[in-house]
Chains A and B, each alone.
Chain A
Amino acid sequence: MRNILRKSMMNVSPLALASAVMVGTVGASPVLANDQLVELAKDPANWVMTGRDYNAQNYSEMDEINKENVKELRPAWSFSTGVLNGHEGTPLVVGDKMFVHTPFPNIVYALDLKDPGTILWQNKPQQNPTARTVACCDVVNRGLAYWPGDDENGPLIFRTQLDGHIAALDAETGETVWMMENSDIKVGSTLTIAPYVIKDMVLVGSSGAELGVRGYVTAYDVKTGEKRWRAFATGPDEELKLAEDFNEPNPHYGQFNLGTETWEGDAWKIGGGTNWGWYAYDPEEDLFYYGSGNPAPWNETMRPGDNKWTMAIWGREAETGEAKFAYQKTPHDEWDYAGVNVMMLSEQEDKEGNMRKLLTHPDRNGIVYTLDRTNGDLISADKMDDTVNWVKEVQLDTGLPVRDPEFGTRMDHQARDICPSAMGYHNQGHDSYDPERKLFMLGINHICMDWEPFMLPYRAGQFFVGATLNMYPGPKGDRENGLGLGQIKAYNAITGEMAWEKMERFSVWGGTMSTAGGVTFYGTLDGFIKARDSDTGDLLWKFKLPSGVIGHPMTYQHDGRQYVAIMYGVGGWPGVGLVFDLNDPTAGLGSVGAFRRMKEFTQMGGGLMVFSLDGEGPYSDPNVGEYVSGEDA
């Protein structure tokens, strides 16, 4: 493992580091990052992590922009990142600075919110260009993490790189403080996930399941990059880091030895289960939550068994990495329903009127799961659309999905109209939760597929097993014209009801943001940012961006004014046809066919648009940022 540290760091003995950790946990005085991040997030002016706060609610208490005046939103300023691939995620705002990330080559920009025409610093890493060919689905990146610093160290920005590195940048200067190799590009492992700061650790996932990567999550010391712990998704219990009481409240989920026993032979060693989605954290429980992805290899006939613990919702203790619970949503996945989707935390009364700490997860398989996040109890599992058909229901007592064999993907079976398709009804979008309305605002794919398996024999005992995938709009879309591929819905996790739902021309790929102003914002693949009434779903405002959106909106306040910002830049899996100029409808596992009409609406781009009421902002005073002789050093 390669390790680039500043020279001064090299002299720290392991003993000294270990004792520093001890002090951090046992000692009374140090203010840990999560306390500071919680405090920073309490100020609605900031947006300190990808999901705004540890609850990952993407919700802002600001109401300066509200359903009455949202139609007066106008661009205040904009910024081009200089990169044309798909832009996922959202920028961060801390105080006077905004931090903007890009897809490969993974540049980070710091902008001065007083005068965003000034780039405070930019950091562009040297990367192995091989990374581009290894990444499966465009060269996206989902965002940055911020560590507020302590008495000795200044604040840091963390960035993942497609070539598998995690870097710590000085938030003031942009200088690279340390860099660690988290995933070896030589083993086909890339990084697209946004890093996540808890205490004085930064958490990083992994990508590249199909190339024999065995998924893991790793915690690094924010100051040194030293690895604190690493927990795998498959394999022996020690490497899964299962707590002694793992799944004790729900033994029917399975407990010990299953990371090896639910695989044939040593197949767990190349079993996938990477995690490239989003994290959430409950500081009181000291548990963080995330989803592990699909098992590998892709073809299910090659890996009999449940393939645990791929496709699972994990609750792990941040300090040790130990898993308190894991719930496998899709045992033995046949569809590529990689369950890395967002985990949104809320506190709500359950049906019996008991206040519960909840975790809600709209899974790629078309089910929205809500668990008690203290122990993993399954509280509800509802279809996010009634057209989901691979599963008849999820039994709440066993946690098991009851499959409909008609929509399975066995070798001897041609399946028509499997919903959702391999892209899932919900992919990487970061959705939001409105605690006033108790509604989860879900951006949804409405795409189904035909699955035609084939086996091609060749000489000398060789054969190739594959499938032809054709994807098209779900039953509620316009199949004849290839449109109606998305939905936006407001979901109540306690009643299971949808407060409202609207169809979209394309998938709502990037996710949503909701606000106390009663407005839900999101971007569309065809390049609009839209605002809907959070109570009714009525469309209140939209603006045409330069390119389609696959990231999620954010909001911040500066100088007393509320802004809404969103990154544009079409790409990612839905955009592979556009990005790589593909025409075969079955290419990109069928994405090219499903999104064949997107090029009629948008083309590649890459940047950020920032809106405010009437477009008021730093340049309302035209003298801001003007050239004055002798003042630019």
Chain B
Amino acid sequence: MYATISRLGFGGAVMLCALGSATAQEADAPVDDDQTLRICASTKDAPYSTEDGTGFENRIAEVLADETGMKLDLVMIDNDAIYLFRDGIEKDLCDVLVGVDAGDERLLTSEPYYRSGYAFISRQDRNFEGDKWQDVDQEGFETFSYRYHTPAETILKYSGRYEYNLVYQASLTNFEDRRNQYTQVPADLVVSEVAAGNADMAIIFAPDAGRYVRDSNEPLKMTLITNEIERSDGMIIPLQYSQSVGVTEDKPELLEKIDQALISGKDRIQAILDEENIPTLPLDS
């Protein structure tokens, strides 16, 4: 299997142009041909993707390349993963994102390859019971860690727990100024705060947390939330999501190859998810 990692950071893009024009065969230069699988990934999206290529989606990318028989070009973008579409796909640096919601309208999406959901994480010795989002509202559970911009915020707002908890949550990013800035709490911190007893509970998308729950010295309990939120305006906010591979709209033929690869590589991908300790739901649930 061939794998190269291109780094597109601040200065990386400049490097890339220089190398690309000088030596077309240079392994670092992403090549847009039908033998190269150009996948964008973030340098700061643990546990999905990390700068050293050990995120679980980085490993799934290798499986996809292998199963399609293409050469993997993992285009590393030095920005938060929320920018991958804008800074990668739209700029034609890559064609594929390994993990997007099934039906993401910006891309062609593959058949879903796993389904998971938001989860409560608490220390086992706290004996937390409950799998509805409303169960967050329990005596003795006052402090919550979560990631910004997620339905976890909605859960806390609708439970009347949000405002009280906001100060603690802001401390997780050292009170960084959030005016018009994308600010995020690292997934491992959300989990370790619970293990350390600083937060009574974490509310987080389970794939964000799987490996950290697995590796925690303090035994933790992770429970998938089973219902969904109906907002006051009637809009439904799902708490379970099917994950697909996203492919640029320009390459429908590539989507077919990916769908094939997901079938032929099903067991290998499942092994990665299992190793990652991601609780999954039936795809048709």
Contacts and interface: CB of A to CB of B under 8 A. Distances in A.
B166 A270 contact: yes
A336 B81 CA distance: 28
Contact of B118 (A212, A298, A457, A460): A460
A460 B150 contact: yes
Interface in B148-182: 149-151, 157, 160, 162-163, 166-167, 170-171, 174-182
A249 interface: no
B174 to A, nearest CB: 6
B178 A297 contact: yes
B83 A456 contact: yes
B196 interface: no
B180 A298 contact: yes
A589 interface: yes
B27 interface: no
Which 9 residue pairs are nearest across A and B when measured between Cβ atoms?
A269-B163, A212-B166, A187-B167, A298-B179, A134-B175, A458-B82, A188-B175, A460-B205, A460-B241
B167 A188 contact: yes
B235 to A, nearest CB: 11
A456 B87 CA distance: 11
A462 B150 contact: yes
B238 interface: yes
A210 B179 contact: yes
B101 interface: yes
Given A185-B175, A266-B160, A460-B150, 4 more contacts: A266-B163, A457-B106, A462-B151, A466-B180
B263 interface: no
Contacts of A134: 175
Nearest to A271: B163
Contacts of B157: 265-266
Interface string A128-165: 00100110100000000000000000000000000000
Contact of A462 (B82, B83, B162, B163): B82
Interface string A451-468: 000001111111110110
Which of A267, A270, A297, A460 neighbours the largest number of chain B CB atoms within 10 Å of its CB?
A460
B24 interface: no
A467 B177 contact: no
B91 interface: no
A413 interface: no
Contacts of B178: 210-211, 297-298
B82 A464 contact: yes
Given A297-B178, A457-B104, A212 B163 contact: yes
Interface of B is mostly: mixed
Given A270-B166, A459-B100, A459-B243, A136 B179 contact: yes
B101 A186 contact: no
A133 B81 contact: no
A186 B99 CA distance: 36
A461 B241 contact: yes
Interface string B126-147: 0000000000000000000001
Nearest to B243: A459
A427 to B, nearest CB: 15
Interface string B201-244: 00001000000000000000000000000000000011101010
A46 B160 CA distance: 53
B246 to A, nearest CB: 10
Interface residues of B, number: 38
Contacts of A218: none
Contact of A458 (B149, B162, B167, B237): B149
11 contacts: A130-B175, A133-B174, A186-B167, A187-B167, A211-B170, A211-B178, A212-B163, A298-B180, A456-B85, A460-B241, A463-B149
A467 B179 contact: no
A250 interface: no
Nearest to A210: B179
A299 interface: yes
A469 interface: yes
B164 to A, nearest CB: 8
A456 B160 CA distance: 27
Given A212-B163, A266-B160, A266-B162, A459 B101 contact: yes
A336 B179 CA distance: 10
A293 B157 CA distance: 24
Contacts of A136: 177, 179
A134 B81 CA distance: 25
Interface string A207-235: 00011100000000000000000000000
Contacts of A462: 82, 147, 149-151
B79 to A, nearest CB: 11
A459 B115 CA distance: 12
B150 A299 contact: no
Contacts of A210: 177-179
A133 B173 CA distance: 10
Contacts of B104: 457
A298 B181 CA distance: 10
Contacts of B160: 266
Nearest to A465: B149
A456 B81 CA distance: 10
A461 B237 contact: yes
A210 B176 CA distance: 10
Contacts of B83: 456
B167 A212 contact: yes
Contacts of A589: 179-180
Contacts of B179: 136, 210, 298, 336, 589
A136 B85 CA distance: 29
Which of B160, B163, B175, B238 neighbours the largest number of chain A CB atoms within 10 Å of its CB?
B175
B180 A467 contact: yes
Interface string B72-90: 0000000001110110000
Contacts of B101: 459-461
Nearest to A188: B175
Which of B85, B147, B149, B238 neighbours the largest number of chain A CB atoms within 10 Å of its CB?
B149
B179 to A, nearest CB: 4
Contacts of A212: 163, 166-167, 170
A307 to B, nearest CB: 15
Contact of A461 (B150, B167, B181, B182): B150
A130 B176 CA distance: 10
A266 B176 CA distance: 23
Interface string A335-367: 010000000000000000000000000000000
